[in-house]
Amino acid sequence: MEFDLTKITPDVRKLSDMKNVVYDKEWFKTAKDCGLYYMYRMLKENNGLRYDITVVVAKMLGNEFNKTKGHNHAGFYGEVYMVLEGEGFYLFQKGDGNKIEDVCAVKAKKGDVIIIPAGYGHVTINPSDTKELKTANWLKKEDKGNFSLFEKMQGACYYYILQPGSGQAGWIKNENYKSVPPLRFEKPLKSVPEDLNFLK
């Protein structure tokens, strides 16, 4: 399945749309608006599911790596991601601002598959300042993202940043959440499940 994305008009998420979720607030105050990621939606439909592609550009948001805004699903749905180019972190969390019950990160490269379980909100992160991340997903056709928790809490419960002083990349807790468990890590899958009915 190949698409000439140069001939398709994407929805663009700009820096100005990310005001409430960017970690580095001081940097944001003087940063110029620009496109951070490009969403090519409904490229294919199959049995009530839709296929999208998102391109996350290689860019630092101050000392934070570029990411998607983060959302929960409007219904109790899961989602399947596949990395088409580059590498990415897929961070997913279950809970609310008072208590996060579980939070997990999966690092994935080209060809890897990530399953976001139903009931989890999630963020996609491009951990590179030189290579774009191109990722595809299958999800329920009519599902729409709910961004309210991530906007209220100023992002996911962990940020992926260049640590002050050391310049090393790493995870830092979002202190706006009252209770956050340690971040756990899982490995990606190597292929898309044959039966995607669990997404519906």
Backbone angles phi, psi at 104, to 5 degrees: -140, 145
Q: Are 109 and 131 in contact (CB under 8 A)?
A: no
pLDDT score for 167: 83
* Structural domains of the chain in order of their starting residue, each with its CATH number: 10-187 (2.60.120.10)
The length of the chain, given as a count of residues: 200
How many Å apart are CA 167 and CA 165, to the nearest integer? 6
pLDDT of residue 1: 64
pTM score = 0.95
Q: Which residues touch 175 (CB under 8 Å, ≥6 apart)? A: none
According to the per-residue pLDDT averaged within each range, which of 6-10, 109-113, 160-164, 192-196 is highest?
Answer: 109-113
Residue 77's pLDDT is 85
Q: Find out whether 86 and 133 touch, Cβ atoms under 8 Å.
A: yes
Per-residue CA distances from 34 to 12, 24, 25, 37 (Å)? 9, 16, 16, 9
